[in-house]
Amino acid sequence: MHLVAPIAYLGFFAVAAVPLILYLLYRRRKRDVDWGATYILRRTLKREAKKSLWKQIAIIAVRTLAFIALPLVFLRPYLDWQPPAGGAFAAAPPSTHRLVLLDLSPSMGATHGSGGRLEAALGLCRKILEATHHPGRIDILPLDGGQEPIVHEQRPVSDIEIEQILGMLELSTVPADFEQGLRVALQQFRASHYPHKELILLSDFSAADLKHGGRFAGTVQALDKIGAKVFCLSYENRVADNFALLDMTPGMDLLLSGQPTIFYVRVGYYGSRPAAQTWLSIRNSSGELLIEQALSLAPGDKTFQVPLSLAGGEQTLTAALSDDDLAYDNRLERSYHVSDRLQLALVQNLDLREGFDNPSTWIKTAFAPQKAGGAETRSIFQLEHVREQAMLKGHDHLVKQTLNNTVQPEQYRTIVDAVVTSQASADFFKDKDGVILVDVDTVTEELEQALYKYVVRGGTLLLAPGPNADPDTFNQTLRRLLPAQLAPPAVEQIDPDIYQHAILEFAGNPILRELEALDHGNIGNTRFYNGYRIADNSMADKADVLFVLSDNAPLLLHRRIGRGSALLWTAGLGGEWHSMVVHPVYPVLVARLFNLAASQRRFALNLEPGAPIVRKTDSQTARISLPDGDEQTIRSVAVGSSRFVRFDHTQAPGTYTLYPYQGNREILFRYHVPQDRRESDYRPLGGQSRSELEQLIHSPLYHREADLVHAVGATYEGSSLASLAALALLLLLVLEVGLIRKWFT
Amino acid sequence: MTPQAANRQDQPLALLEPEVIERVRQLELFSRFRVEGFLGGSNRSPDQGSSSDFLRHRQYLPGDNPKYLDWRVYGRTERLFIREQEELTNTRLSVVLDVSNSMGYCDRSLSKHGFAIRIAAVLCYLAFGRQDTFSLTTFNTGKAHHVPFGSGRSHLLRVLHALVSAAPGNGTDFRHALGQSTAHIRRKGLTIVLSDFMDDAAPIARTLSRLRFEGSDVIAMGVFDPMERSLDFSSITRFHDLEDNQILVVDPQLIQNAYQREFDAHQQEIRQACHRYGFEYTALPVGDDYDVPLGAYLRHRMERFT
């Protein structure tokens, strides 16, 4: 039992002294009486001696209790709070504003003990809603970055309302935003007129949550200042064991049908074991199992190379891991354009040089068709071929896939059409995946216009001025397409003993990075004796350097123009200034560059959140199915002679299925917005992080509901005894009067 | 009692106020049992007499006086029966008065003693009016004073004078004093004991039972002050015992109920003890109209036993 304001005792004693003083001042003195019936008096005293003693003790006890009850009435004592029976939540006292911050991040979908974390959290929310007996307010705010809590001010909450509220609480696709949630809670509490404020935080408090949760120390301090009490219940698993499919990208952005391609599958393991195994399976659009293999991982993430060969068209691959505690990150869908072949246009001035003096010969040779069993026909593309064969040897499934998917087995998949500048036109470029401008330093205005239009619409142009090019003319003629202004070559006369090496400057793309690997040719081994320099401060907007020479001179530059890009190779594609033409990396480099560039000609199927879905169509309207199951109608827009549909609301992760032709649901295209997989790492906080968090929020992290209920209830005063004390005082006074009347009057 | 009467308290005749005499004149004081008197009177005698009061019929035995044969019965039944008649005589009234100090308690205009001597005076007056002989004995620790049996006006005055001159004093020794005070009563008569009976009921009744065994009719009149029963004091009180001067300090409020119950229980004990030995007990509360409770008792007695 507690007594509030013990200092009130002083006042109580002062008040209690008043009747004593009055008694002492006005007490009646003893009187003397001559008595004739002392015989009766003695008999009475003898008989009543013991009985009267007990009666007096009883009266004194009653008066003492009344004396004790009197201050209790004013000091408002209360009993310690007792936990409710049946696992119910602690009922809030009147005028309490209770706000529940509910973590609905994907990691809350993990199993927790015998059930799911979310089910446990919703069960607790139900108990909290049911434990509303007094006027007050209860808000439930999902920690998904939202601003508006689910508010309920009327109490008690009916069962139907509870079901409605709980029905609105579903797993989100974004990580928990503690900072935003606490800020909203602070705003709600500041606007609240209820004196008692409780903040209950239900989350798994994973390391990932707090890593990205931001800094909310200030918000917690502000909550402290306004008197809000913070309680946290953690739904963490002591032993977390989760695999997550983080990413799946192909080794080449432009996939060719029947061409074995390395897919880089990044898998994460977040657990307490030193190593764990899971199964990876990948299926294509028709559900056919492409590969299934066991993976062994240590904690952290690891990228696995999975060779696959896909059929032409747009293919959707579904990768899946074995079931584990957290299901949302075990599946990953990606769609890819798979082209039947790569078509390049080789444009150069009329060049009468023959053989390997002509740079086009090197390019044509590099992409010459590979005959079946082509050991007898030497191809400079042999390295890629050998690598492909090696891949086939190690993976039986690929042999079958390659044979099934190859459209033209007798011809390799890259076609090079060579024309002179006078024959080149916009129509010629229309179907080409890339255009190579070799040894051309000036073009007609029409050709420049055609090239510019081609690039803006997504084409890739590789500019490779030869040793005889005039930089000024080149800069003047192709100024709209150049990543940078060309300057004169480094040296006028080549010295065979002085050469440079190529170094990858732009390391962000793994495809280009492979070029430095031994089994991909090792571009670092090539020798560059000369090359054009880049004029100072002439880099265009959206231009960057992909390769540099060892003397830091740019070798390959890249510039985004519209949806396409222009590449500038400063050392010429012939053999005059470098040894790359006779090096195995030469066709690989060219192929990779065009693969990289050609993929940009098509609208992306795997989108970043918010990136638009664009698709060419002939129909006036199209339908799109959203990740949440809703469908919307999109009107197509005419652009030139074509019509396009565009859908911009792709913030929600998941698969968007576009039906470009109204009424024909057989033609469909899938677009994928990746889910945030930060929540996959739901390992519990370490001891230090936990204590830091507990210090930050000024509250321990409870693991059991009962502990939380007890912690919440421990802050309550419990049952007030004031009314009980008043009633007891009244009863005692009545009892005292009654006993006096019964015994002594 | 009027102030003038109070002033004349030391005068014997002051005990018998004319208005009181007028009210009690109609009352009858008689013994329930047969008494042995010398003169004719209104009380039944153990002897057969010639009064007109029929006593009983009994079979004629040889030697009986034939003049008492009831010839009417013989005419109807042809059997001889003697008709016996009651003998009426006067009674002997013994008034035994407690004059211990406890009788001196006074809460109002009359003390218990003053009340008791007036009652005794009235009783003697009633005996005087019926030509009965009467005596007065006072006692406290022993027999204090005795006026032997007598009758007539001068005897009444002597008794009244003795009453006036009797003053409360000493303690009370019921066993010894009552024995001494009633030792002179040898013939069947009526004995009235006036006291507050502040002692154990059994010894008192046992002492008086001797009179009853000898054939006397005994009436115990308990005199008490209403204040003695109610113990109506609101503060702690030092009670001085009138007989042995001991002091009892008591909070009357704490024991008032128990005291009243004890008082009533004592009265009841005396009543039951008296009834057990075959005589009556009546409690007379002290009041200014002292003849009222006495009159009520005598009327009630008359209704019961006549």
Rounded mean pLDDT of A621-650? 88
Give the pLDDT band (50/70/90) at residue B22. confident
Task: Tell me the residues of chain B between 87 and 116 that have a Cβ less than 8 Å away from chain A.
Answer: 101-105, 112
Q: Which of A27-31, A255-259, A383-387, B145-149 has the lowest mean pLDDT?
A: A383-387
Question: Which residue of chain A has the CA closest to B226?
Answer: A37
B293: amino acid identity, one letter:
P
* Sheet with strand A300-308: strands edge to edge: A241-250, A261-271, A300-308
Question: Which residue of chain A has the CA closest to B259?
Answer: A44
pTM here is: 0.57
The two structure tokens encoding residue A127: 């108990």
Name every chain A residue with its beta carbon within 8 A of the beta carbon of B255: 44-45, 48, 52, 744
Cβ <8 Å between B105 and A43: no
HSE-CB of B228 using CA atoms within 13 angstroms = 35
C-alpha–C-alpha distance, residues B39 and B202, integer Å? 36
Residue A190 contacts B, CB cutoff 8 Å: no
Cα B256 to Cα A140, A294, A556, B33, distances in angstroms: 70, 102, 123, 41
Name every chain B residue with its beta carbon within 8 A of the beta carbon of A47: 258, 262
Bigger pLDDT: A357 vs A397: A357
Residue B60 contacts A, CB cutoff 8 Å: no
Name every chain B residue with its beta carbon within 8 A of the beta carbon of A57: none
Interface TM-score (ipTM) > 0.85: no
Rounded mean pLDDT of A150-165? 76
C-alpha–C-alpha distance, residues A384 and A367, integer Å? 11
Give the pLDDT band (50/70/90) at residue A154. low
Cβ <8 Å between B243 and A743: no
* Best mutation target, B239, B251, B264, B268, to test chain A (most A CBs within 10 A): B239
Say how far residue B302 (Cα) sits from the centre of its chain. Answer: 14
CB A585 within 8 A of CB A515: yes
Out of B199, B234, B239, the one facing A41 most closely (by C-beta) is B239
* Structure confidence at residue A375 (pLDDT): 39
Bigger pLDDT: B1 vs A692: A692
Out of B112, B236, B241, the one facing A38 most closely (by C-beta) is B241
Cβ <8 Å between B233 and A41: no
Cβ <8 Å between B234 and A28: yes
Cα B275 to Cα A565, A599, B176, B299, distances in angstroms: 140, 135, 22, 19
Cβ <8 Å between A744 and B240: no
CB A228 within 8 A of CB A194: no
Give the pLDDT band (50/70/90) at residue A210. low
Distance from CA of A34 to the nearest CA of B (A): 5
Give the pLDDT band (50/70/90) at residue A483. very high
Cβ <8 Å between A45 and B238: no
* Structure confidence at residue A744 (pLDDT): 65
Q: What is the pLDDT of residues A398-421, one digit of tens each?
A: 666 665 655 444 445 677 788 888
Residue B61 contacts A, CB cutoff 8 Å: no
**With 80 as the cut, is the pLDDT of residue A566 above it?**
yes
Cβ <8 Å between A745 and B196: no
Percent of chain A with pLDDT over 90: 13
Q: What is the pLDDT of residues B129-158, one digit of tens each?
A: 888 889 999 998 888 789 998 888 899 999
Residue B255 contacts A, CB cutoff 8 Å: yes
Distance from CA of A29 to the nearest CA of B (A): 7
Q: What is the pLDDT of residues A230-279, one digit of tens each?
A: 899 988 777 778 899 998 887 655 677 767 777 889 999 988 888 899 99
Bigger pLDDT: B76 vs A414: B76
Give the pLDDT band (50/70/90) at residue A116. confident
Out of A29, A30, A44, the one facing B255 most closely (by C-beta) is A44
Instruction: Tell me whether the omega of the peptide bond preceding residue A274 falls within 30 degrees of 0, making it cis.
Output: no
Out of A38, A41, A744, the one facing B254 most closely (by C-beta) is A744
Cβ <8 Å between A45 and B250: yes
According to DSSP, residue A30 is labeled P
Cβ <8 Å between B196 and A43: no
CB A650 within 8 A of CB A238: no
- Mean model confidence pLDDT for chain A: 81
A355: amino acid identity, one letter:
G
Environment class of B131 (CB within 10 Å of its CB; exposed 0-12, middle 13-18, buried 19+): middle
Name every chain B residue with its beta carbon within 8 A of the beta carbon of A45: 248, 250, 255
* Structure confidence at residue A488 (pLDDT): 92
C-alpha–C-alpha distance, residues B306 and B304, integer Å? 6
* Structure confidence at residue B258 (pLDDT): 86
Cβ <8 Å between B105 and A34: yes
Residue A741 contacts B, CB cutoff 8 Å: no
**With 80 as the cut, is the pLDDT of residue A743 above it?**
no
Percent of chain A with pLDDT over 70: 86
CB A569 within 8 A of CB A511: no
Environment class of A3 (CB within 10 Å of its CB; exposed 0-12, middle 13-18, buried 19+): middle
Name every chain A residue with its beta carbon within 8 A of the beta carbon of B250: 41, 45
Strands A136-142 and A96-102: parallel
- The total of other beta-carbon atoms located within 10 Å of residue B215's CB is 15
* Best mutation target, B106, B223, B248, B260, to test chain A (most A CBs within 10 A): B248
Q: What is the pLDDT of residues A51-109, one digit of tens each?
A: 777 888 888 899 888 888 888 777 777 777 777 777 788 888 888 888 999 988 888 88
Burial A183-215 (b: 16+ CB within 10 A, else e): bbbbebbeebebebbbbbbbbbbbbbbbeebee
Residue B263 contacts A, CB cutoff 8 Å: yes
Cβ <8 Å between A36 and B246: no
Out of A34, A41, A55, the one facing B259 most closely (by C-beta) is A41
Q: What is the pLDDT of residues B237-252, one digit of tens each?
A: 899 988 888 888 888 8
- Mean model confidence pLDDT for chain B: 83
* Structure confidence at residue B4 (pLDDT): 45
Give the pLDDT band (50/70/90) at residue A671. very high
Question: Which residue of chain B has the CA closest to A28?
Answer: B235
Burial A319-336 (b: 16+ CB within 10 A, else e): bbbeebbbebbbebbbbb
Residue B257 contacts A, CB cutoff 8 Å: yes
Distance from CA of A98 to the nearest CA of B (A): 58
C-alpha–C-alpha distance, residues A185 and A353, integer Å? 77
Residue A43 contacts B, CB cutoff 8 Å: yes
Cβ <8 Å between B199 and A39: yes
Task: Tell me the residues of chain B between 206 and 235 that have a Cβ less than 8 Å away from chain A.
Answer: 224-225, 228, 231, 233-235
Environment class of A227 (CB within 10 Å of its CB; exposed 0-12, middle 13-18, buried 19+): exposed
Strands A31-35 and B237-241: parallel
Among A19-28, A401-410, A585-594, B138-147, the range with the most confident prediction by mean pLDDT is: B138-147
Residues 6+ apart with CB under 8 A from A362: A356, A380, A573, A574, A575, A581, A586
